[in-house]
Amino acid sequence: MRKTSSKQKIAKFHRAVRDALLPLKNPERAAAMRAYVRDQFEYLGAGTTERRAAVTPLIRAFKPVDAEGMRAAVEGLWAMREREFLYCAAELLARYQAALSLDDLPWLLSLAQQKSWWDSVDSLVKTVGKIVQRSTLKGARAMDAAVRHKNFWVRRIAMLHQLGWRAECDTERLFRYAELLAVEKEFFIRKAIGWALRDYAWHDWSVVEKFLSTSGAQFSGLTVREARKNFEALRGSSSATKLRNNRNQSSARRV
C-alpha cells in the first residue's frame, strides 16, 4: 500500500513539473541553448529564473519519504527529453541530499554518465560532496576510486567534490588528485583541476601558490590560469588584512 502511494505521489510530482514547465517553451531560445551544447540535447527554452520560479514550490512541497522515493523521482525527471527537467532533478537532489547516504553514491555517479555534459555533471558535485563529507573515511575512499574511473566525467566529480569545503578541505587529497589528473588532455579535467585549486585559494591562497610554484610545471596553461585567477585580489586582500592587524597591535601597545 505504501509503495503504491509513493509511486502515485512521484507520478503526480512528475506531472506537476511538466505542467509547470511546458508553458515556458521558447523555440528561439531553445535553438540557441541546443547550439551551445553542440546540438547534443533538446531544450524547452525556459530561462533559469522562470524555470526555478515555476518548479521550486513543487520541489519544496514534494518532500521524498526516503532515498528510494528520491531516486525514483530524480530518475523520472532525468529521463525526460528536454534538459530543463534534468535541472529540476538536480535541484531536487540538492534540496533533499540529507536523505541520501554513501550507499547512494554509485547511483549518483551513474547519473553523471547519462546525458553527460558539464552542466549536468557539475549539478551533482555539491550533492556528492555533502555525502562524502558526512561519510568521512569511507567517503574519501569512494572518491579515491572515482578519481581513477574510466569515465572522465566521474573523474571530474572526484576532482571537484571538495568545492566549498574551505577549512575542512583535505589538501593532501586535493593536491594528490590534481597531480594524478595532470597528464590528462581532456579540457573539462584540466579546467576542473584549476577550479578546485582556485576554490581552495579563497581559504588559503598562499598554500595553492606554493603548490603551483613547486609542482605547477606538470599542469596545462589552462589549469594554472584557472587556479591563479584570483591571486592578485587575494594577495592584496591578505596584505590589507596584515596591515590592519599591525596597526591594531601598534595602537594597543601605545595604549
188 and 139 co-located in one domain? no
107 and 95 co-located in one domain? no
What is the Cα–Cα distance from 34 to 13, expressed in whole angstroms?
26
Portion of the chain with pLDDT greater than 90, in percent: 85
What is the Cα–Cα distance from 76 to 68, expressed in whole angstroms?
12
Tell me, yes or no, whether 177 lies in a domain.
no
Domain's final residue, options 60, 76, 99: 99
What is the Cα–Cα distance from 74 to 59, expressed in whole angstroms?
11
Least reliable range by pLDDT among 106-110, 181-185, 188-192, 236-240: 236-240
- Return the C-alpha cell found at 101: 547516504
Q: Report residue 14's pLDDT band, with 50, 70 and 90 as the boundaries.
A: very high
* Domain of 72, in residue numbers: 1-99
Q: Report residue 65's pLDDT band, with 50, 70 and 90 as the boundaries.
A: confident
117 and 147 co-located in one domain? yes
110 and 89 co-located in one domain? no
Query: CB atoms < 10 A from the CB of 30, how many?
Result: 18
The pLDDT of residue 1 is above 50: no
Helix (H, G, I), strand (E, B) or coil at 169: coil
Over range 66-86, report the average pLDDT.
Answer: 97
125 and 62 co-located in one domain? no
Domain's final residue, options 81, 99, 117: 99
Over range 214-221, report the average pLDDT.
Answer: 96
Domain's final residue, options 99, 128, 146: 99
The structural domain count of the chain equals: 3
Helix (H, G, I), strand (E, B) or coil at 42: strand
6 and 49 co-located in one domain? yes
Average pLDDT, the chain: 92
107 and 141 co-located in one domain? yes
1 and 38 co-located in one domain? yes
Task: Identify which of 219, 198, 193 has the alpha carbon closest to the alpha carbon of residue 208.
Answer: 198
What is the Cα–Cα distance from 29 to 46, expressed in whole angstroms?
8
DSSP code string of 172-216? HHHHHHHHHHTT---HHHHHHHHHHHHHHHHHHHHHHHHHHHHHG
112 and 63 co-located in one domain? no
110 and 67 co-located in one domain? no
Residues 6+ apart with CB under 8 A from 245: none
Tell me, yes or no, whether 173 lies in a domain.
no
Query: CB atoms < 10 A from the CB of 6, how many?
Result: 17
92 and 138 co-located in one domain? no
Query: CB atoms < 10 A from the CB of 44, how many?
Result: 21
18 and 82 co-located in one domain? yes
pTM of the model: 0.90
- Which is more confidently placed, 209 or 235? 209
- The CATH code of the domain that includes 88 is 1.25.10.90
